[in-house]
Chain A
Amino acid sequence: MRMPLSAIIGLVLTGAFLFVGLFAQFIAPYPIDSAVGGVWEGPSAAYWLGTDTIGRDIVSRLIYGAQVTIFVALASSILAFSLGSFLGFFAAVRGGWIDQTLSRIVDLVMAIPSLIVALVMLSVLPLNLTVLILVMGVLDSTRVFRLSRAVAMDITVMDYVEAAKLRGEKQGWIIFREILPNALSPLVAEFGLRFIFAVLFISTLSFLGLGIQPPLTDWGGMVKENKDGLIYGKAAALMPAMAIAALAISVNLVADWILSRTSSLKGGRGG
Chain B
Amino acid sequence: MADTLLSFNNLKIEATAYPPGEPPRHVVLVDGVSVSVEKGKVLGLIGESGAGKSTIGLSAMSFGRGGVRLTGGEIVLNGRDIRTASAGALRDLRGREVTYVAQSAAASFNPAKKLMEQVIETSVAHGVMTKAEAEARAVSLFRQLSLPNPETIGNRYPHQVSGGQLQRVMTAMALCPKPDLVIFDEPTTALDVTTQIDVLAAIKRAIHETGVAALYITHDLAVVAQVADDILVLRHGKKVEYGSTDQIINAPKEAYTQALVSVRSIDHAEKPQAAPVLSVQNVTARYKGTSFDVLKNVTVDVAPGQTLAIVGESGSGKSTLARAITGLLPPASGRITFAGRTLSADLAGRTKDDLRELQMIYQMADVAMNPRQTVGTIIGRPLEFYFGLKGAEKEKRIQELLDQIEMGKGYADRYPAELSGGQKQRVCIARALAAKPKLIICDEVTSALDPLVADGILKLLLDLQARENVAYLFITHDLATVKAIADKIAVMFKGQVVRYGQKTDVLTPPFDDYTDLLLSSVPEMKLGWLEDVLTTRKMESAGN
Residues of A within 8 A of B (CB): 1, 158-160, 162-163, 165-169, 177-178, 181-182, 266-271
* Residues of chain A within 8 A of B371, CB atoms compared: 182, 266-267, 271
A160 touches B355 (CB 8 A): no
A267 touches B362 (CB 8 A): no
A167 touches B385 (CB 8 A): yes
B385 touches A169 (CB 8 A): yes
**A163/B362 contact (C-beta < 8 A), A158-B367, A182-B370 known:** yes
Beyond the given A163-B368, A267-B20, please list 19 additional residue pairs across the A-B interface where CB-CB is below 8 A.
A1-B24, A158-B367, A159-B364, A159-B368, A160-B367, A163-B431, A165-B347, A166-B359, A167-B385, A167-B435, A168-B350, A181-B370, A181-B373, A182-B371, A267-B415, A267-B417, A268-B417, A270-B18, A270-B21
Find the residue from B20, B350, B366, B370 having the highest chain A CB count within 10 A: B370
CA distance A70 to B261 in the complex (A): 67
CA distance A183 to B285 in the complex (A): 34
Residues of B within 8 A of A (CB): 18, 20-21, 23-24, 326-328, 347, 350, 352, 355-356, 359-360, 362, 364, 366-373, 381-382, 385, 415-417, 431, 435
CA distance A178 to B328 in the complex (A): 18
B328 touches A162 (CB 8 A): yes
* Residues of chain B within 8 A of A1, CB atoms compared: 23-24
Minimum CB–CB distance from B233 to chain A (whole Å) comes to 31
* Residues of chain A within 8 A of B327, CB atoms compared: 166
B372 touches A182 (CB 8 A): yes
**A166/B360 contact (C-beta < 8 A), A160-B369, A182-B370 known:** yes
Least CB separation from B362: chain A residue: A159
CA distance A168 to B347 in the complex (A): 8
A181 touches B381 (CB 8 A): no
* Residues of chain B within 8 A of A268, CB atoms compared: 20, 417
B18 touches A269 (CB 8 A): yes
CA distance A266 to B20 in the complex (A): 11
* Residues of chain B within 8 A of A269, CB atoms compared: 18, 20
* Residues of chain B within 8 A of A267, CB atoms compared: 20, 371-372, 415-417
Q: Which of B21, B370, B385, B417 contacts A178 (CB 8 A)?
A: B370
Find the residue from B20, B350, B385 having the highest chain A CB count within 10 A: B20
CA distance A269 to B21 in the complex (A): 7
A168 touches B385 (CB 8 A): yes
15 CB-based A-B contacts, threshold 8 Å: A158-B367, A160-B367, A162-B328, A163-B362, A165-B347, A166-B327, A166-B355, A167-B355, A167-B435, A169-B385, A181-B373, A182-B370, A267-B417, A269-B20, A271-B371
CA distance A268 to B350 in the complex (A): 35
* Residues of chain A within 8 A of B356, CB atoms compared: 168
Minimum CB–CB distance from B388 to chain A (whole Å) comes to 14
Least CB separation from B431: chain A residue: A163
The 6 closest A-B pairs by CB, nearest first: A267-B371, A181-B372, A159-B368, A168-B355, A160-B370, A159-B362
* Residues of chain A within 8 A of B373, CB atoms compared: 177, 181
CA distance A169 to B327 in the complex (A): 14
Find the residue from B327, B347, B381 having the highest chain A CB count within 10 A: B381
Minimum CB–CB distance from A45 to chain B (whole Å) comes to 48
Minimum CB–CB distance from B422 to chain A (whole Å) comes to 17
B367 touches A266 (CB 8 A): yes
B20 touches A270 (CB 8 A): yes
CA distance A181 to B369 in the complex (A): 13
Minimum CB–CB distance from B276 to chain A (whole Å) comes to 21
B326 touches A166 (CB 8 A): yes
CA distance A181 to B415 in the complex (A): 13
CA distance A267 to B371 in the complex (A): 6
Find the residue from A162, A167, A268 having the highest chain B CB count within 10 A: A167
CA distance A39 to B342 in the complex (A): 86
B360 touches A266 (CB 8 A): no
CA distance A259 to B328 in the complex (A): 35
CA distance A159 to B360 in the complex (A): 10
* Residues of chain A within 8 A of B368, CB atoms compared: 159-160, 163
B367 touches A167 (CB 8 A): no
